[in-house]
């Protein structure tokens, strides 16, 4: 069973330190939720893990399945089995979701075997159909241009379809609930739950408890001022729902 280990991670953006020593270990098969107020560093953690060039790691290490993630570029991290679902997915007019996914799969296959000729079209169509059916999505969805003209809910569902098709070891969901109404949130959450299993570790980044009503976490962590300051079970999210973050500010000496 592979694990994602984050040890004393410090990250700066434009010479401003955002993450100030994050420690977290996630095993495949586990779901971890990271909660915290705006500016606490949650999305910075997501982008630093994925290899965004604007996020400079100044100290610490990240190990995925025994490999040094920080020595890899974004593509290599994906090939190793890391997936990031964006808070604000980008539209790519002219590129269908199906073509995008086939290109991503072929890139991974090429990384594993430089002589690979790519996934045969019949095999890819079968795989895509299986994933669309698993997520209860209309097959026509795959023929649309990636995120072009998509609603907020459709963009997030497209992210989950990508996750299902690429089958990563670990997925980081960066505020997947952002901008979703209750129906869309339920639909996206059902998709994530359909993919849960021993081969996938999930980190759910969120402000609010509501997505955790549908995606039940094994562990909940509170991030504040660039660090994970509290960890516990699902009851931690309920505590935040009831009391907000004032008790965290008071406990750690930061004025509201």
Which domain, by its residues, includes 239? 3-95+167-251
Q: Is residue 60 part of a domain?
A: yes
From first to last of its 256 residues, what are the pLDDT tens digits of the chain? 899 999 999 999 999 999 999 999 999 999 999 999 888 999 999 999 999 999 999 999 999 999 999 999 999 999 999 999 988 899 999 999 999 999 999 999 998 899 999 999 999 999 999 999 998 899 999 999 999 999 988 999 999 999 999 999 999 999 888 888 898 898 899 999 999 999 999 999 998 888 999 999 999 999 999 999 999 999 998 888 888 888 888 888 655 4
Distance between CA atoms of 98 and 108, rounded to whole angstroms? 16
Whether residue 144 lies inside any domain: the answer is no
Q: What is the phi-psi region of residue 136: left when phi exceeds 0, alpha when psi lies from -120 to 50, beta otherwise?
A: left
Question: Would 77 be classed as within a structural domain?
Answer: yes
What is the model's pLDDT at position 141? 94
pTM over 0.75: yes
Task: State the Cα–Cα distance between residues 225 and 252, nearest whole angstrom.
Answer: 9
Has residue 124 been placed in a domain?
no
| 125 in a structural domain | no
3-state secondary structure the chain: CCEEEEEEEEEEECCEEEEEEEEEEEECCCEEEEECCCCCCHHHHHHHHHCCCCCEEEEEEEEECCEEHHHCCHHHHHHHCEEEECCCCCCEEEEEHHHHHHHHHHHHHHHHCCCCCCCCHHHHHHHHHHHHHHCCCCHHHHHCEECCCCCHHHHHHHHHHHHHHHCCCEEEEECCCCCCCHHHHHHHHHHHHHHCECCEEEEEEECCCHHHHCCCCCEEEEEECCEEEEEECCHHHHHHHHHCCHHHHHHCCCCC
Cα–Cα distances (Å) from 98 to 65, 103, 173, in that order, read 29, 9, 21
204 falls within a domain: yes
Number of domains in the chain: 1
Q: Is residue 155 part of a domain?
A: no
**Domain annotation covers residue 136:** no
- Find the CATH number of the domain harbouring 200: 3.40.50.300
């Amino acid at each position: 069973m592979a694990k994602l280990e984050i040890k004393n991670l410090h990250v700066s953006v434009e010479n401003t330190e955002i993450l100030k020593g994050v420690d977290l270990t996630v095993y495949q098969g586990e779901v971890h939720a990271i909660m915290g107020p705006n500016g606490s560093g949650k999305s910075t953690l997501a982008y630093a893990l994925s290899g965004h060039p604007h996020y400079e790691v100044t100290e610490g290490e990240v190990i995925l399945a025994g490999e040094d993630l920080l020595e890899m570029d974004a593509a290599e991290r994906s090939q190793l089995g890391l997936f990031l679902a964006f808070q604000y997915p980008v539209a790519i007019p002219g590129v269908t979701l199906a073509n995008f996914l086939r290109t991503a799969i072929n890139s991974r296959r090429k990384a594993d075997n430089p002589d690979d000729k790519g996934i045969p079209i019949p095999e890819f169509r079968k795989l895509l159909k299986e994933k669309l059916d698993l997520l209860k999505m209309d097959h026509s969805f795959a023929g649309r241009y990636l995120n072009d003209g998509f609603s907020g809910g459709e963009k997030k569902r497209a992210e989950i379809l990508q996750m299902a098709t690429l089958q990563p070891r670990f997925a980081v969901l960066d505020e997947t609930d952002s901008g979703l109404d209750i129906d869309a949130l339920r639909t996206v959450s059902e998709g994530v739950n359909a993919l849960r299993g021993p081969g996938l570790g999930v980190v759910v980044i969120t402000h609010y408890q509501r997505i955790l009503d549908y995606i039940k976490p094994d562990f909940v962590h509170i991030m504040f001022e660039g660090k994970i300051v509290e960890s516990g079970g699902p009851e931690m999210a309920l505590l935040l729902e009831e009391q907000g973050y004032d008790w965290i500010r008071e406990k750690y000496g930061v004025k509201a």
